[in-house]
Amino acid sequence: MGAARMRFVFDALLSTLHALRPGRLVPPKRLQFVGDGDFEKVGASFLRYFVELGGLQAHHRVLDVGSGVGRMAVPLTRYLDERGSYEGFDIVAAGVEWCANNITRRYPRFRFQLADVYNEFYQPEGKQRASDYRFPFPDGEFDFVFATSVFTHVLPGDMLNYLSEIARVLRPGSACLITFFLLNDETRALLEAGKGTVSFPHEREGFRIADPERPEALVAYEEAAIRAAYQERGLTIIEPIHYGSWSGREHPVSFQDIAVARKR
């Protein structure tokens, strides 16, 4: 089946499932603390990325690193079948509580838990450092792992530990999908030309930040460093990386850059 035909079939299936669901699952605006844009449309777009770019299948066991307030979980309730399951964790208690009360009650195979992890921007009262946090799951537990708008808010030590943990909980041969702000020659040229919608003027070793007073507010990493980190953890990037619109690129896939990798 061609790519255009596959997308048409996928869109038709998603529309049918959307029409059949017993009521909308949309949190109140005050709880939508991560990301801009329409809650449902962004979630539907990422479901397409998970399937078309990441190879997600309906029977997979899925881990959502940084589950937020369920923006990715909600469309997955309409895609994963009775063999599939979902685990999500987040550092923001209000998001975990909303997801547990509204998603898990309808879909018991969707479970959420709180990670008491410090983040200057999102959870300044967290007790554990992200650089030391061990995901609460055994080795090789998941068929698909994703982290959207997480690695754009963590500093290097935290990012490297999370990447190690993602590699640990993935089954061999399975895939992960992670979003970044990636710096390379083309990105830097676009930013210097003023074409980017996000600016990272403060340079650090191997990464840049937008605000030195709140460094975790927005973080961009050197693509070469990210590629090396993947390689060291037994993760092979499935080329190409799908660059986003944040840097001013033409024909972007999404807003942030999307890297899909498979565990060797």
pTM: 0.88
Answer whether residue 208 is part of any domain: yes
- List the domain range (segments joined by +) for residue 202: 38-263
Q: Tell me: pLDDT of 27 over 60.
A: yes
pLDDT over 70, % of the chain? 87
- pLDDT score recorded for residue 18: 42
Answer whether residue 25 is part of any domain: no
Q: pLDDT tens, 231-262?
A: 999 999 999 999 999 999 999 999 999 999 99
Answer whether residue 26 is part of any domain: no
Answer whether residue 29 is part of any domain: no
Answer whether residue 258 is part of any domain: yes
Q: Tell me: pLDDT of 11 over 60.
A: no
Q: Report the pLDDT averaged over residues 123-135.
A: 92
Number of domains into which the chain is organized? 1
Nearest Cα neighbor of 71 from 43, 36, 46 is: 43
3-state helix, strand, coil in the chain (%, to 5): 35, 25, 45
The larger pLDDT score, comparing residue 88 to residue 125, is at 88
pLDDT over 90, % of the chain? 81
Q: Across the chain, what does the average pLDDT equal?
A: 90
List strands edge to edge, sheet with 142-147. Answer: 110-114, 85-90, 61-65, 142-147, 170-180, 257-263, 235-237
